[in-house]
Structure 1
Amino acid sequence: MLVCALEKDGIEPEDVVVISARKINDPWLDKFGYHLAYPAKPRQTLLGQWPFISFYRSAARLIREAINARELSHVYIVNIENLLTNHLLLMTAERQDVEVALVVEGIFNFQEITPRNRARWRWVVKPSLARLLGLRWHTPVGHLSGAFEPGICRVVSFTEIGLKAPADKVDVLAWQPVRPSVVPDPRALVVVHTGLWQWMDQDAYLHVARAFVRWVERENFTRIIVKHHPHVGPGALEEMLPPHETWDTRASMENLASEVPAVTVAGTCCTALVTLKMLRPDLRCIDVGADFYCEAAYHGDHSVEHLLMGAGVEVVSIGRPG
């Protein structure tokens, strides 16, 4: 999405400074003028944030230099809940000549994700931590993407279906379908893992995982290929699946769209199901459990179902436990 936005805005990669908010191993990052890499996989506990202190200090200095640069014309952020993106939005308020765009990062932007969806300790600790790091901080009060913030001029997305953003800000940069470079096997399944297990209790997640396995077994696939999430572990589902192989790649599913070796791709609350259906309309993309995980993980917000079904993804209901 960032690459598409840069191309539309006529900005060359060598003129861009990138600060990663996640550990991303992708060769395309080498094309940019400077890349400050996130040092490790993100951690969800308070004490787990300690190893990242030096990274945030370096990022704060880099942001200060960038904001003071006369040549700065565009800023692209992915949300306002991260210490750095929150600080960046506040800093750019002093530069009326700079356009701030929000780059859609995934399903998150199509759900009603607000502070209640995050651990309370984050909102207690972040103001003090921001001051310690020399960062400005404003606790978000609405959607954590920041799409409704007055400082955000534009929301760059691959679709407007169900997008949580003011209509007059939305800038859809639609992806064109790609041709398959391999013949997909109609009896094979690609499972795309997600980090959904982080947002619900163990019993609830196990209900989703067991239902997913039952669906896989009913479909009677002859080959199962697992694609891991690039940033988080697979949760309990990995060990519960029938015998399978791993698609050993760090590339995103979007970049692998032409190479998908199966007709069917399935997951739970996964952006790739939507983007793959757009890039490869010939694929059968399946979401398992939205009726339940929307209740268990997202406080009853069923917004994601509008995106999934609007994009042509099949939604398999699993009901409640028992």
Structure 2
Amino acid sequence: MNARTVIRHGLRALALALAAVVALGGLLAAALRLQFTGAPAAWAMSTGHDALWMGHMWVDGRRTERDVQELAVRLRGTGVKDVYVHSGPFEWDGRLDPAKYPNARNFVQWMHKHLPNVRVSAWLGQAVKNGLDLDDPASRANVLAGVAAVMAQGYDGIHYNFEPIGDGDEEFLDLLERTRRHTTLLSTSVPQIEPYAGMRLAARAALSHDKYWSRGYFSKVVARVDQVAVMTYDSFLPTQSLYGGHVARQAALGLDLVPEDKQLLVGAPAYHDHGVTWSDAAESVAMAAEGARLALSEHGRRERFGLALYVDFAATEEDWREYTTRWVTTGSGGRTLS
């Protein structure tokens, strides 16, 4: 076989591979677009089990009680029941320096005073790829020591956000189990659930880490916590309808997998620096709310289901308006939560 024949065969194989990728991409787009069809039920809306991720300035001394009073005005009448306040991150060896949250005790007291029905969890985490090694028992012990110390500040719970946690990571499950010694309210952010068979392995091959979790591993994590927040943002999908379908798919999978005595939260992107132009246009609180409502309508009523807004310091007035009008009070017989 001469060189020209080899090149011709190679180009043909490449063309076939590219055609297969395009075809699979088209099938995925069609499937997601189908998820984002129909009208949600009038009852599919907030039940008062929403959450808000909040920045570090609330516990490092930059915010005062007056700021908490203003926050209370913002949150009253919404569905926000939990706030996750950034109180870390952990060091590379798992230690948590108390100097990172010098005003935490005051902040928690102010929250309990002005928003007594809202639970305050310490949002703790770190990068675990080329960073914190949760496989190391000593690092996990340091993490738990930090959890014990931060809970002494009066927090109601712990919210973990370690990224990226690989599918099947047993050490993360061990950490969740041992964290129970220090808190009765435990939640974690989780990556997206594998939407269709084969996508987890394909994404892992392309990214060198797990973008998706299998349904089995997701269920193991759910069994060890009270709340899971699926990070449905940063999807890199180019249109609003595809992103809405993506959220609907993730919410539908979560509703099927999360028992009714656990809380499922759908991450809603209240930020505008995705890093790619089309994501800023495609992803929004409104599309996340619509996708969640469609999934809930299909599944049936669920009390412990809500949106989790990411993140307070980046959220615009438009983000808050979309949350309020598209999720808390809808245009079809909606009601305002007290």
Scaled by the length of structure 2, the TM-score of the pair is: 0.31
- Choose between structure 1 and 2: higher helix proportion: 2
Scaled by the length of structure 1, the TM-score of the pair is: 0.32
Bigger radius of gyration, 1 or 2?
Answer: 2
Name which structure has the greater RCO, CA cutoff 8 Å, separation 6+. Answer: 2
